[in-house]
Structure 1
Amino acid sequence: MLDKDKKGSTHRGYYWLYQDSINKLLVFDYQPGRGREGPAEMLKDFYGTLQTDAYSAYNSIVDTNNITLIHCLAHARRYFSDAIYSDQERAKHVLEQLQLVYQIERDSRALNHDNEKRAASRQKHSLPILKELGSWMEDQYKQVLPQSPIGKALAYSIKRWDKLCAFVYDGKLHPDNNAAERSIRATVIGRKNYLFAGSHESAKRIAMLYSLIGTCKLHNINPSLWLKDVLTVINDHPINRVKELLPHIWITKQK
């Protein structure tokens, strides 16, 4: 972003994305830095499960809050995708086993499983695969160079294996946070187009718009229709009922 206090100077800010995949809610929170202060403030009253990459800032937050931290299986998978050219045999084995797990997920969706049935299916079919794979990784790690691509891939997963596999016990959870990463794409495209935010305040307003439009998309709402209706009625809408205009509530009034 442009630094308004220093002409010609720029500052790197960060959007932190929080996505509730159960209730289909999306929040972009702008922070001027990448330290723990931003998520600590956002999550101070949160109680539940938080799925993240392995960024260390989250660890101290969950240690002091009623939060269960789990990790993203897709992030672990990427390490093995990157290692396939240096150790095809080992990397391919992991990728094939994870593909079996994801096929079980697809089958569960095709059968329209509720959360209870999804968890039961995972524990019956996915858990044995993951347990065997975890043991295999520990054995293989003893045979590779720790700083090699496959060594780093194995170390990443072994260190976090319980948190990577936690989704099998709760049908509400997902094996990865790919849905949130898809929501981030809009900011990447936007950044390439407008290049800079004019100030920290502008970046916060952009985050608000990304949050509202992103939530519209999660609910299959045409953002143009929502904006048109909200901008038409908001001046006369009671301030104590303004939440009714949020996309996920607004859509319930349209049916």
Structure 2
Amino acid sequence: MTEWTVDHAAGVLLAAEQERTDRGPITDEWPGLDLATAYQVQRRLIDRKIAAGETIAGVKLGLTSRAKQRRMGIDSPLTAWLTDRMAVRPGEFLDLSTLIHPRVEPEIVFVLGQRLSGPGVTAARAMAAVSEVRAGLEIIDSRFADFRFTLPDVVADNASSARFVVSSEAHRPDGLALDLEACDLEIDGQVADSATGAAVQGHPAEALALAANSLGERGIDLEPGWIVLTGGLTDAVTLKPGMRIVARFTHLGSVVLQVSEG
């Protein structure tokens, strides 16, 4: 019988990612996995990626919509890590063979100009640390079959992080009403979904503050230069070969993801 530990769980999830195979939830076999331990698994997984040559590019928030939080039985988002190898350049084709069952969602993206140290960070303080706002797309890819997981499972799995695209067009945050910033998610030229920045905790700055405070409780600062994906604005769309996805924002411009045919 498998003895589940932080190290073992991190190894299982990393192997699933590398081998592009999904599996059942860890909590089916390790029912004692709680949220605090799941964050330890997440950090161990990222430490292994860093040891293999990846570097931290920033953080992301997951479960930022109120509806998703209610379904998972929580009252605030979860946090996870981004690395440089997750980045897809605008215009670069995404090869689905490198992933398991990816989905895409549009995001408002912050680039930090100052360090943020929680707890105690307010939305106003969070926005004061932002140097740029950009349009983005996040590609999520759970290592669990059918995206079936509990909260500790998805936290341990680094919140289903896989890839992300950030637009080359940058905007100063001054004067942007990000809660009212509208986004159309277009799939092959057709609008599949629409939302505004209010879908993310009422305002993306609230999500950033929550990230700073959550990480601060674990002794981690948000560093200058880091990218922060503030959370999906719409439901995630399953990616298919040849698909062209555009997130078109009112003031932030557009960002495009093209999926390869093969």
Same fold (TM over 0.5): no
Q: Which has the larger radius of gyration?
A: 1
